[in-house]
Chains A and B, each alone.
Chain A
């Protein structure tokens, strides 16, 4: 059974600091997704990582995928308050985007 674990589950940061969120998964997969969710809102797609070594960057967020280690990271650079949200990773269970498993989410709070 595919399991997806994120850590930390809660993260409080000062503005301007850097930090990394980790996403580990238990079975072979080379497609991983990152989403953002604001309180009470839906999920917004951030990144789709398709292969080993994939790296994508958007603003202060950078995501990477190591399929051999079954690990993805979401790195936050010089955090700002607007990045406060819950971040989810999800792994494609059946290689066709039809059956994803989500991590529990990392609730990020960026303090001034």
Chain B
């Protein structure tokens, strides 16, 4: 089945640690995204990538890093510089369709819940 997988489902981080969240998709989508969701709030964009070996910062990129070495993979590292990392992290992907006709949307993975101990 085609879809997006994220791992782990739950992750605990100690102060000062870097942790990496995995995101894989087999939908053959060009674009991938990372969002952060805090309780009772909407999604905020951390990073996105339209093509392998290229990515752009979103609204809240500070304290995070990404890589896009393969089309199907877009891992997110939460560094020790991110002072308040406890949140629900969602990865998404989408095709880069023709705007005038495309009804494509972003497809979301199941999420990773990160907690700082």
Residues on B with beta carbons closer than 8 Å to the beta carbon of A103 = 42
CB B25 to nearest CB in A, in angstroms, measures 13
Contact yes or no, B42 A100, CB < 8 A: no
Q: Which of A31, A45, A104 contacts B41 (CB 8 A)?
A: A104
Binds A, one of B14-22, B68-76, B78-86, B105-113: B105-113
Q: How many A-B residue pairs have CB under 8 A?
A: 62
**Is A50 part of the contact surface with B, judged by Cβ < 8 Å?**
yes
Residues on A with beta carbons closer than 8 Å to the beta carbon of B92 = 43
Q: Which of A35, A41, A48, A102 contacts B104 (CB 8 A)?
A: A48
**Is B7 part of the contact surface with A, judged by Cβ < 8 Å?**
no
Contact yes or no, B99 A96, CB < 8 A: yes
Task: Provide the bound-state CA to CA distance between A4 and B109, in Å.
Answer: 23
Contact yes or no, B105 A33, CB < 8 A: yes
Task: Provide the bound-state CA to CA distance between A65 and B50, in Å.
Answer: 27
**Is B46 part of the contact surface with A, judged by Cβ < 8 Å?**
no
Asked if A96 meets B96 with Cβ closer than 8 Å, knowing A42-B111, A88-B43, A103-B42, the reply is yes
**Is B34 part of the contact surface with A, judged by Cβ < 8 Å?**
no
Considering residues B43, B96, B102, B104, which has the most beta carbons from chain A within 10 angstroms of its beta carbon?
B43
Q: Which of B45, B48, B108 contacts A43 (CB 8 A)?
A: B108
Residues on B with beta carbons closer than 8 Å to the beta carbon of A35 = 108
Using CB atoms, name the residue of chain A closest to B103: A48
Task: Provide the bound-state CA to CA distance between A50 and B104, in Å.
Answer: 10
Task: Provide the bound-state CA to CA distance between A84 and B106, in Å.
Answer: 22
**Is B97 part of the contact surface with A, judged by Cβ < 8 Å?**
yes
Q: Which of A48, A98, A107 contacts B50 (CB 8 A)?
A: A98
**Is B94 part of the contact surface with A, judged by Cβ < 8 Å?**
yes
Q: Rank and list the top 5 A-B pairs by shortest CB-CB distance, nearest first.
A: A102-B42, A43-B108, A102-B43, A42-B108, A45-B105
Task: Tell me the A residues contacting B by CB distance below 8 Å.
Answer: 4, 31, 33, 35, 41-45, 48, 50, 88, 90, 95-105, 107
* 14 residue pairs A–B, Cβ–Cβ below 8 Å: A35-B108, A42-B110, A43-B43, A45-B105, A88-B42, A97-B96, A97-B97, A97-B106, A98-B31, A98-B94, A98-B96, A101-B45, A105-B41, A105-B42
